[in-house]
Amino acid sequence: MPGNAREISARLTPLVKWGVPAVFLIEGLSFIADWVAYIGVGRSAPPFVVALAVGCTLSVPWIAARCLHLKRVTLTDDALRISNYRRQIVVPLRDVASVAPTRFGLRAITVRFARETEFGSEIRFLPLRVFSDGLFWSSPIMDRLRDAVAAAKSNPV
């Protein structure tokens, strides 16, 4: 691997990847258990218990789809090292088709590839962020990654 490897994904990625879906699942199961307990004693559950049970249960698949697919990404001079925390692949920067923010949910970055990889045709990762401009988080990683991809494509091997 060439030098200058720099991790560009947030260090809290594992917590978001597995922790957020787990919290919503546990909370949903807890509210369902409360609902069942009310029914078991012959009472109707308060509307907020029912609403939270239904809301958490219905949101778990969407949250899991957003979070469980997050990857750890390291940028080198000419490639991306991408890990799902069990296996790591290397994708040359020349094979990156686009870099864009995600449309819904997490403030993640989507990297699309020109060809299929072991992780599919795109990956998402949470970028390193800096706290600036008062209450807003921003990340210069997207621009840096786009610049690195453009440089790799302009310098054919």
In whole angstroms, what is the distance from residue 142 CA to residue 146 CA? 6
Residues of the chain with pLDDT under 50: 1
- pLDDT value for 1: 43
Class for the domain spanning 73-154: mainly beta
- pLDDT value for 143: 86
Q: Residue 94 in contact with residue 152, Cβ under 8 Å?
A: yes
- pLDDT value for 45: 84
Q: Where are the domains of the chain?
A: 13-67, 73-154
- pLDDT value for 107: 80
List alpha helices for the chain, DSSP H: 13-14, 20-40, 47-67, 141-154
- pLDDT value for 53: 84
Residues 6 or more apart whose CB falls under 8 angstroms from that of 119 comprise 71, 82, 84, 89
Query: Does the reported pTM lie above 0.75?
Result: yes
In whole angstroms, what is the distance from residue 88 CA to residue 98 CA? 20
